[in-house]
Amino acid sequence: MTPDSPAPERLPGIGQRLDLTDDDGRPVTVVRRKDGTLEIHGEGAHTYLPAPQARALGALASGHFRMVPGLFERTEGVLGGIDFDWVTVPDGAWAAGLSIHDLALRQRTGITVVAILRGSIPILVTDPTQRIEVGDELVIVGPPDGRPALEQYLARGS
């Protein structure tokens, strides 16, 4: 891991932690909890963001997609919840090279792929025959508990 490319660390039962440094070299720790809330810790100060604000911050920081104001809050009230997120297809993924149709992602995981980010090229209309590749970032919509199932299925096929 280099200072320019920190990797998140899994916190079993909690979520993920990312250790960063600010431009003055001071440590900053970010914890994304399984419930979608975000904690930012630095120099004795703590900031907590509820899930809708955490997702809005993530979308803004990544530059991957923009959401209309209020959409995160509107989806919070939907029975069962709807998450907008993205998942990167990992190296060695079982699913690499297969089409969205062949994978039957919605039927197996409850997740719908709405776009694919392949490097700097967005594939905005995902045709069922579209094959996914290692490194693709799948822009997904689905229930809050669907992402782990999708990640496991992409990686291992089960």
**Domain for residue 58, yes or no?**
no
| % of the chain with per-residue pLDDT over 90 | 23
- Which residue has tokens 């993920």? 16
- Cα–Cα distances in angstroms (integers) from residue 136 to residues 30, 56, 86, 115, 117, in the given order: 25, 22, 10, 10, 6
Q: What is the pLDDT at residue 79? A: 55
DSSP string computed for 97-116: T-BHHHHTHHHHHS-EEEEE
Split the chain (158 residues) into runs of 10 and give each run's mean pLDDT: 68 86 89 87 86 71 59 61 82 93 91 86 80 91 85 88
Per the structure, how many domains does the chain have? 1
Q: What is the pLDDT at residue 70? A: 65
Q: What is the pLDDT at residue 103? A: 94
Cα 76 vs. chain centroid, distance in angstroms?
A: 17
**Domain for residue 22, yes or no?**
no
**Domain for residue 52, yes or no?**
no
**Domain for residue 101, yes or no?**
yes
Q: What is the pLDDT at residue 121? A: 80
Q: What is the pLDDT at residue 2? A: 46
**Domain for residue 27, yes or no?**
no
Structural domain of 137: 79-156
Q: What is the pLDDT at residue 1? A: 44
- Which residue has tokens 């899930």? 51
Q: CATH no. for residue 143?
A: 3.30.70.1450
**Domain for residue 86, yes or no?**
yes
**Domain for residue 117, yes or no?**
yes
- Alpha-carbon distance of 116 to 124, in angstroms, equals 7
